Amino acid sequence: MSWFERNTGHWDDWPLAALLAAKGDQRVSLVVPARNEAATVGDVVGRVREALVDTVALVDEIVVIDSDSTDATYDVATRAGAVVHRSAEIRPDLGSTPGKGEAMWKSLFVTSGDLVVFMDADLTDWDTHFVPGLLGPLLTRPEVQLVKGFYERPGADGSPFEGGRVTELVARPLLALLYPPLAELVQPLAGEWAVRRSWFASLSVPTGYAVELTALIDTWRVHGLDAIAQVDLGRRAHTSQPLLDLGAMATQVLTAGWARSAHSHHADTIALTQFAEGLTPRVRPVPVTERPPAVSVPASAAPSADAS
């Protein structure tokens, strides 16, 4: 039996009653990293809270990490029932770096779950079954450390698998070239995934968009392929990013993947030259820094400042 056959499931393989029984006294944290997502973050938080906190006690806390938003993300998420922290105010002694990975790494200092589920804040076509689907393998298979979601990702024309440009043009070719054992991951960059807290806290975490890819590579290297599972979550849509921003994302993914191969890099920033209207070259500094494993970080001399 192939890895794909052994480790690929569907979200409804695990009834809620079975998951609740398997959960026991373990705690589950849902973490939503967000930057300027006031239009959608309230729906993500509110629907999960109603279905999986208030109605069925599968999730113990919903925490939004606000990454330098300039809109009403903080207030909207708070009203929807999340505990919201501004990333820059979590462990200020450690400094602050813009980026999704930074928000996810910082979440380890303000959450308590034994299992951590990550969901993006910009979802527009999704359902609350994403969370129990991702928890299924972690709650029923002790060897599994990390679970990736996958789904139909419609493109701009509505085609079901035309979304995910960085995945198809960068991440999948990168895995085929440098990490072929991971080639059967359907959505290696999926923002919906779950992990054992103890394992995630032991990982070095890129501060930008490469966190999903590096978590896969590092899990495979240390624990083997059967420590990774993937679950079909159905369909997912989200707001699209501009092409030039996707170029910066692709640079971070390539750099992190390259660094974990037999090759290496020694820079904290990559100078990416891009061209837009007018064909004037624009050099964009793309940060490719990483945070050390959270378990290696000394305890704070003072309590973390709560966002206000």
Tell me the pLDDT tens digit for each residue of 171-202. Answer: 989 999 889 999 999 999 999 999 999 999 99
Whose structure tokens read 């929807």?
80
How confident is the model at residue 155, as a pLDDT?
56
- Is 169 a member of any domain? yes
Euclidean distance between CA atoms 181 and 188, whole angstroms: 12
- Lowest mean pLDDT across 28-32, 62-66, 121-125, 220-224: 121-125
- Lowest mean pLDDT across 8-22, 148-162, 260-274: 148-162
Domain count, the chain: 1
pLDDT digits (tens, 9 = 90+) for 73-95: 999 999 999 999 999 999 999 99
Domain that holds residue 18: 3-239
Nearest CA to 57 among 15, 32, 28? 28
- Is 141 a member of any domain? yes
- Is 247 a member of any domain? no
- Find the CATH number of the domain harbouring 23: 3.90.550.10
Nearest CA to 206 among 268, 134, 295? 268
pLDDT over 50 at 307, yes or no: no
- Is 7 a member of any domain? yes
- Is 77 a member of any domain? yes
- Is 167 a member of any domain? yes
Q: How confident is the model at residue 302 (pLDDT cuts 50, 70, 90)?
A: low
Residues 160 and 151: beta-carbon distance below 8 Å: no
The amino acid sitting at 1 is M
Phi, psi angles (nearest 5°) of residue 167: -60, -50
Q: What is the pTM of this model?
A: 0.89
Q: What is the mean pLDDT of the chain?
A: 90
- Would you tell me how many other CB atoms lie within 10 Å of the CB of residue 263? 9
- Is 295 a member of any domain? no
- Is 279 a member of any domain? no
**Among residues of the chain, what percentage have pLDDT more than 90?**
72
Phi, psi angles (nearest 5°) of residue 303: -60, 150
How confident is the model at residue 38, as a pLDDT?
97
